Structure formats: C-alpha cells, structure tokens
Structure 1
Amino acid sequence: MMKKLLTGSVALVLAVALAGCGANIEDTGNEPDDAGSGLTHIAVGDIKIASQTDAYAAQKLGFFEDHGLDVEFTYAANGQDILTAISSGSLNLGLAIPGTAMTANASGFDFVGVVQDQIAHEEGPDSGGLIVRTDSGISSLADLEGRSLAVNATGANQVYVSIVKTLEDAGVDVSKVQFQEIPFPQMPSVLEQGQVDAVAVVDPFTTMMLSDSAYTDLAWYYVEALPGMPLSTYWGTREWVESHPDEVSAFNAAMTEAVEYLRANPDEARDLIAEFTGLDRALLDNMPDIQWSTEVSVETWEKLIDIYVQAGLLPEAVEVTDLLTAAALD
C-alpha cells in the first residue's frame, strides 16, 4: 500500500493557491474574433509542450472554427496556474494533469473534465523516464535506497505519485530515497554534475538524455505505475461547463478531430510539434509517439483515483462520471 503523501498543510497550500487572484500565465495576445464572424469566443489555458500540439493543430487546421469556436489560448507553466485562472473566471477551460484537478476538488473546488487528450503508453518507451548515469553503479530500482532522486514536485504531483508507486511496487523503501524538487529543464545538468543520483524526467528531456550513452533508463514510471495512465485533460468549473453545453461539445469534437488527424499523420504531427514548441525536428524522429487519445477508459481512471486514495491524496474514491462530462466519456 502506498504511504500517505499529502499532509493537511500541503492540501491547504493547494487550496490557497487556487483561491488566489492571480496566476503565472502568459497571454498570447490573440484578440477575440469580431462578433460578426459567427464564432463563439472561449478562453483556454494551455502549456506549450509537445503533447499539447493537438490543441495547436485544432487551431491551425481550422477544427475549432469548423465547430463554431474562436479559441483564444493563454499559456502557463503548469496546470495549477491554469486551474487558478479558471476558478477566478479568467479562463473558461484549461489543461491540467488529472491528479492536480482531483486533489483541488478534494479541497473544495469543483472542476470537471471536458476532454481527455493524452495517456501513457501500455509499455515503454514512454515520455516519463527514470534515468541514471551509466557509470553510477545503479542497475535496479532497489539501488535507489539511500540515493537522491530529482522530481519536479512532490505532494500531489502525478509524476511524484507515479514514482512512489513504481518504487513501492518494486519493494523499495521509499523513506530511504532522498527526493529533491528540481524543474525538468535543470535535471540533465544536475545529474551530469552528480548533484543527484537519478532524475524523473518527461519528454523531450527523456529522449534527449537517452540519446547520450552516458545515461540509461531504470523504469518508465507512468507505465509501471499504471499502463495507459491518463496524463492530460481539459477542465472547466462545473458551473461554466453545465451552462455552456454547446461550447463544451464543440471543443470536445474539435479536439477529437485533431487527435485523430495527428495519429493518422505521424510525420506531419512531428512537423507541427517542432513548429509549436521550437524543438529540433531531428530529435522528434527519436521520440516515442505521443499517445494522444480522447477515448476514456473508465477502468483506468478508477485505478488512478484509487492510487490517489491509497496515497492519502483523496479522502475517498470519486465516481468517474462525476469527474468527467458525458461528452468526455462518450
């Protein structure tokens, strides 16, 4: 059984952050379309990372417009900032990894998912990699006891939760692992310099590091924790979602079309990723395909919820039908 990872004080910090007036978000500067266009304007928060190229494609390829939407994107550093902006009314919808929204709801908020768009692979390679130096002497997860491991955040963070479950399932005494909070972009350098013994990264850092023989992977932590784990979903407040069914349905339909298009055209998908993120196109040829999917596995979501309950991050299990809209589940 997973040890409880979230104390009352951490839950309070999350609630206070989400209740705050401001969030660290960057306005794209896109002006809403003219009222005479016939399009309905909505404001959506996102993160400029490879996996969210589907939303970029929906915009660029006209899927949003085809469904009557003028979508104005605002970019943030993380899902918590986006949920903050949604709760304040600055945004209508926005991206967050499920664990962030679920724990926010447990603290008194009421976010509901309108479309899932990415899941983990069923087996590695995957975006989430636990990586060590090849010359570190670490050859198994058990070797991490007494060692330091960098994660981007602890507490309710889904990377951290997945890492802890992966380690515990392998029989590792997690209390003997020294976790350090380090942003993803800094992880390659701190591992190279020996400041930590292992890092839990996501793509593009996973692919970048493993292209160098100086590094090797110990585990694909999302896959090990829960194959097919839901990784990104767009959320709104229940009040806004229930009062804007047409906009929600249109957003879901456009995102679904974008996901289907990218999966059917992998080379063009990589071109769009490079265009959206600025990543080197050659690097993308070595990156595992992003597992875009709007098809919800209720069973997998239930397992993710159970992981959070077992970790003490949720007081009790919630129904997937309460967490996601009917359109998201369809």
Structure 2
Amino acid sequence: MTLTDRALSRRGLLKLAGGTATAGALMGASGCGLLGGSESASSGNGQVEKPNIKVGALPISDLAPLHLAVREGMFKQEGLNVEIVTASDGSAALSSTIGGDYDITYSSYVPFFAAQAKGVADLKIVADCGAGAPNTTVIMTRPSSNVRTPQDLANASIAISGPRTISELLVKATMKAYGVDYAQTEFAPVPFPTMPAALEQGRVDAAILTEPFLTQAARKIGAVPVADTNTGPLEDLPLTGYGATAQFTEENPKTVAAFKRAMDKAVAMAQDRSKVEPLLPEFAKVDEQTASIMSLLKFNSKPDATRLQRVPRLMKEFGFIDADIDVSKMIVRPQNS
C-alpha cells in the first residue's frame, strides 16, 4: 500500500491547526511529480476559468490516481493543465494553498478539519482520495520486542509522524477500540521513512507504519504487526482528500468541476492495480519489488458527508478540536458545466 515566503507566515497557524498530514508527512522532497508533474501546455478548452492549476502533493501511493490522470491525459481532456508540486508535508501543502501558491492540495483530513474548526481558513473539500484498507496502516514492532498485543501498548513508546496528526489519531482510536488506556503511552515523533530504523534500533517499542514503509519494514527488519488500524470501528475510515479555499472554488466553479470529473475517471481506472503499480516507482520512490507487493488504500473520488463526518467526530473525541464541524457544508457540490 515543499513553500514560498507568502505561505511560510501561515505555517505556524497550520501546525496549531493540525500538524502534518499522512504517510509522506515528513519526507523531504521538492520539484514536480510524474514526468515533470504536468501535461503538455494547454490553454484550456474555453470552458474553465483557470486552465493552468497547481496541485500540492506528496510522494506517496495515495496519489496514484492523480498521476494516472496526468499520464492518461484526463485533465487535458477537461481543458486543464495540472502541475503537480511536491510539498514537504501535508501542512506545508495546505499552507501554500491557503496562501494562494497552490490552487488545490492533497492532505490528510485532519489538517483540513483542524484549520476549519479553528478558523485558520475557510476550506472546501474538492474530491475524496483514500480510505483505510486492511494492511495499509498498521502498528508494528520488531521481532525481539516484548510488545505483542494491543494491550502491551499501554506503557510502550510508539512512533507517530507528529503530534495532532492522522497517525496519532489512528493509534489512540485503535487503542481505545481494544480497551487499552493510552494515558501512560509515550508518543514519539519520528518521520515515516526512519520509523523502521527506530524500531530496529530499539528507540521505540512500536510504530504506526503506512505503505510503503510498512512493507519495507517487514522486508528489511522482519517487523511484525500488533494491530491493524483499519479494522473494526475504523474500517473504511476516510483518510485523505483534495481541498481548496472557499474563495478559489467560488471563483472557479468550472475549473473545480473539471478537476473532479478527471479524478472520477482516474479513480475508476485505478481500481485496476495493473494501471497503478507501474507508476509507483516513479512518483512514490519505491523499488519495483515493493511496488508489486505493497497494499494500497481504497481509492475514492466522490466525498460523502456521512462517511467524512466520522473524522471530525473522532478528532473532537480525542481532543484534536473543540468545535463541531458540519462536513456537508465543506463539500463542493458537483455541477455539469
């Protein structure tokens, strides 16, 4: 399974609003995405307000449909020239979007909803992206660890990507689902790429690993699962999506609708793993063997308010936000033109 000076002034607000985003949250990377990150120059088809748009992204497998849409010319067919810009983490991408440097951005839902709840920005959900699937985000440990069951996590040190992130939320919710008190648990911020090494060296007792790091840890250090965070009450939990400022969506409704249509087509094609797997070594920076065996999230494109409402509900339950959020008011409604 990276900011301009204008956006940097908002970075602190975004950290307060929810921290880093998802699997690639602390992966340093810069530049554009697959094959230069954009299609051949397009002036649009006259049906969109802004034919050239920048989309903030991370170098992870969640974004396979986005890269697929570029490669297959789906955006071009909608009159869009999409430049995929790789950010350092989800908060950085969201900060750049709020600052106007990106038009649409990928992120986990935690920063989206945290920023909305705290009034950092008025945000809209343009498209859904990925939901939890079995064996894609798992609390793992090293073979020699004394941690073997979820109950063993109560007094353990667990690596998460950062405080107030989707990774912390998933760990705490999973522990609660197993009836485990996390009051004495130590949550250690560790970048996803270095979590396998932290486990191997005994710097943490367990780590929440997502793909491709999950597969890499299993292959390289024999990491073993303690608890799958995408089962039971967290099964099919929406994890990531594409968002934009309310101002952008209001000023560019046809552009947003075109982006959504292209993503709908790409997600439909991405259900065929053979269409996705060859792209992973190019933009997700994994070797071909890992790409062939790693688990993938459940790709989605159409946001559903009922499903998405589960995320801010969990965030409030675990103290990530104080205010209630009506997700239905954040979703951009589809239009046909």
TM-score greater than 0.5 by the shorter chain: yes
Q: Is the 8 A contact 2:316 2:324 kept in 1?
A: yes
Unaligned ranges ≥5, structure 2: 1-11, 21-27
Is 1:26 aligned to 2:34, yes or no? no
Q: Displacement, 1:14?
A: 2.2
Contact 1:256 1:294 in 2 (8 A): yes
Letter in 1 for 2:16: L
1:142 has 2:154 as partner: no
Q: What is the aligned-residue identity percentage?
A: 23
- 2:234 maps to amino acid: L
Q: How far apart are the structure 2 equivalents of 1:132 and 1:53?
A: 28
Show the counterpart of 2:16. Answer: 14
Query: Equivalents in 2 of 1:297, 1:32: separation in Å?
Result: 29
Any conservation in 1 of the 2:126–2:242 contact (CA below 8 Å)?
yes
- Residue by residue, what CA displacement relative to the aligned partner does 1:122-144 show, whole Å, maximum 9, x if unpaired? xx22x211001222122211112
The residue matched to 2:167 in structure 1 has which SS?
A: helix
Matches of 1:174 and 1:16 in 2, distance apart?
Answer: 20
CA distance in 2, matches of 1:49, 1:278: 8
**Contact 2:280–2:286 (Cα < 8 Å) also in 1:** yes
- Aligned letter for 2:112? A
Give the drift of 1:327: 2.6
Residue 106 (structure 1) shift: 1.5
Which digits, 9 at most, give the CA deviation of each residue in 1:226-271, with x for residues without a partner?
Answer: 21111211110001101111000000010111111111x3123101
Q: Alignment partner for residue 282 of structure 2, among 275, 300, 308?
A: 275
Query: Deviations 1:182-231 (Å, cap 9, x if unpaired)?
Result: 10111111110111110111100111222357321011114355211112
Could you say what the CA RMSD is over the residues aligned between the two structures, in angstroms?
Answer: 2.6
Partners in 2 of 1:291 and 1:118 — Cα distance?
Answer: 5
Question: What displacement does 1:53 show?
Answer: 1.6
Cα 1:209/1:325, change in 2 over 3 Å: same
Contact 2:140 2:224 in 1 (8 A): yes
Q: 1:187 to 1:12 in 2, by over 3 A?
A: closer
**SS of equivalent to 2:277:** helix
Which of residues 66, 70, 74 is equivalent to 1:63? 74
Residue identity opposite 1:132 in structure 2: T
Q: Cα deviation per residue 1:51-103 (whole Å; 9 max; x = unaligned)? A: 11211111111000001101112110211101111111111111111111100
Aligned ranges for residues 1-330 of structure 1 at < 5 Å?
13-14=15-16, 26-28=30-32, 38=45, 40-108=51-119, 109-121=121-133, 124-125=134-135, 127-155=136-164, 157-211=165-219, 214-224=222-232, 226-263=234-271, 265-327=272-334
Alignment CA distance shift 1:172-1:11 (3 Å):
farther
Shift of 1:297: 3.8
C-alpha distance in structure 2 between counterparts of 1:178 and 1:225, whole Å: 23
TM-score when normalising by structure 1: 0.86
CA shift for structure 1 position 289 = 3.3
Cα pair 1:79 1:96 within 8 Å, conserved: yes
- Whole-Å Cα distance in 1 between the matches of residues 82 and 287 of structure 2? 27
Structure 1 residues 326 and 35: CA distance shift in structure 2, 3 A: closer
* 1:31 Cα deviation from its structure 2 partner: 8.1
- State whether residues 115 and 327 of structure 1, in contact with CA within 8 Å, keep that contact through their aligned partners in structure 2: no
The whole-number CA distance in structure 2 between the counterparts of 1:174 and 1:241 is 40
Alignment partners' CA distance in 2, 1:326 and 1:16 = 25
**Distance in 1 of aligned mates of 2:289 and 2:42:** 42
C-alpha spacing 1:204/1:13, structure 2 compared with 1 (3 Å): closer
> For 1:175, what is the secondary structure of its paired residue?
coil
Q: Which moved more, 1:277-286 or 1:111-120?
A: 277-286
Where 1:162 maps in the other structure, the secondary structure is helix
SS of the equivalent of 1:327 reads coil
Is this contact kept in 2: 1:17–1:84, CA < 8 A? no
What SS does the corresponding residue of 1:285 show, helix, strand or coil? helix
Cα 1:74–1:243 shift into 2, 3 Å: same
Provide the rounded CA distance (Å) in 1 between the counterparts of 2:231 and 2:13. Answer: 26
Secondary structure of 1:136 counterpart:
coil
Alpha-carbon separation, structure 1, partners of 2:279 and 2:41: 27
Separation of aligned partners in 1, 2:283 and 2:229? 26
Distance 1:17 1:286 in 2: 30
